[in-house]
Every structure is written in C-alpha cells, then in structure tokens.
Chains A and B, each alone.
Chain A
C-alpha cells in the first residue's frame, strides 16, 4: 500500500467546473510535489512545496492552483480546464528537497482526470 494517499482516484469534469484533487501523507515529509503524467510518457513536474511554501512552479497555467494547508496535505484546485489537461495527476513527497540522495520521492497512485 502506498503511503501517499490521493483522492479521488478518478474524476470527470466539464470545462466550466471547479474541482480539487487532494493528497495526504503521514511520513513527516516536508516536501510535496504535483506531477502530471500523460499516457506512455514520464511524469512532468508542476509544483514543489518545501516546508509548506511554494518553491517551484514550472510555468503551469493559472487554471491549476496548488495549496498546501499543512505539512501533511496538498491540494490542487482546478478551474476552467481544457480537454488536453486530461491526464494522471500524481502527488509525491520526500523528506526534504535537499540532500536528494537521502530523500527519494514517494508517489501516490494518482488521480485519473478526464476533462470533457
């Protein structure tokens, strides 16, 4: 069982809807990440939070809005998405962003998003 829990597992939304993806970890990790993965492609980094502060935004469109309410939770708020945003959205966590050799990423199983 994964130690990073993502909900929902599947989400279908229209282009005018507002929805949120949720991620939770209880490993005491202080870094959390959102990745987007299209079919048969590697994950693409979207956002990194370090100690609950946004440290990296990979030029993601503003229709994706991340939020880190506390060190265990990470949300991704979605609004006015496009069909091409349909993908698997993966959350990950690590002890810290630094000392990466000692702090590999732990991934959740993802939310499969379909935008109609």
Chain B
C-alpha cells in the first residue's frame, strides 16, 4: 500500500541555519503531496502542497519540490527561526478520491536562539 517515510528527529538547529527534512513516498497512481505543521497544543496546519511532478510548493519561506524520479518531497528553508519549532508531517493523498491522507511519522524541529 501507499506509504510515507520521513527522517527521524528531533532535528535541532540554531537560528538562521538551513533546514532540510527528508520525505520519500511509495504510491500507485499520481498522489498529491503535502507538508503539514503542528505547533505545540494545536492541530495540524497545511504548510504547502504539490499536485504533480516537478511542482514546487512554497509558503512562509518553506519550499518542497515533487520529484517523481526519486519519489521524494523534501522540505527546505533557508533560514529558520525559533518560531519554526514544531512537528512537521509529510503526507500524501492518493488518487482514489476518498479524502484519506497517509502521514509520515513526523519530524520534530527545535530551533535554538
């Protein structure tokens, strides 16, 4: 079945450092890919999305490119802030149109001043 694999955390960075969180997927068909972020005590918020190969999603300085050839959707940010500390989930929505999201295990990011 479809699955998403994320790099294990926690990831600890200093403020203004470069961030990469790896995400790879296995899916039949043509999934859409998402990054969600969960701040402490809150629900999940959509960070960015990409719907087809070579699409680049971007929001709030974060970017991820849908790479079909490597089945990857890595999240990057050029300069992280303390306020970016959160749990990041990579997810895919398959082509069955059920609305079902398949999540990776989540990666905790801690940014220190």
In the complex, what's the smallest C-beta–C-beta distance from A34 to chain B, in angstroms? 12
**Given A41-B105, A101-B32, A101-B51: A48 touches B43 (CB 8 Å cut-off):** no
The 4 closest A-B pairs by CB, nearest first: A97-B99, A101-B51, A42-B103, A107-B43
Chain B residues near A (Cβ < 8 Å) = 32, 34, 36, 41-46, 49, 51-52, 89, 93-94, 97-101, 103-106, 108
B41 contact set on A, CB distance < 8 A: 109
- Which residues of A are at the interface with B, using a C-beta cutoff of 8 A? 2, 4, 6, 31, 33, 40-43, 45, 48, 50, 55-56, 90, 92, 94, 96-110
The reply to whether A104 and B49 form a contact with Cβ atoms under 8 Å apart is yes
Using Cβ atoms and an 8 Å threshold, which residues of chain B touch A96? 99
The interface residues of chain B lying within 8 Å CB-to-CB of A103 are 99
Question: In the bound complex, what is the Cα–Cα distance between A2 and B52 (angstroms)?
Answer: 28
A97 touches B98 (CB 8 A): yes
The distance from the CB of B58 to the nearest CB of chain A, in whole angstroms, is: 15
* A43:B103 contact, CB within 8 angstroms: yes
The complex places the Cα of A4 from the Cα of B46 at a distance, in Å, of 13
Residue contact A106 to B99, C-beta cutoff 8 Å: no
17 A–B contact pairs at CB < 8 A?
A4-B43, A6-B43, A41-B105, A42-B105, A45-B100, A48-B100, A55-B99, A56-B100, A90-B44, A97-B98, A100-B93, A100-B99, A102-B51, A107-B43, A108-B43, A109-B43, A110-B42
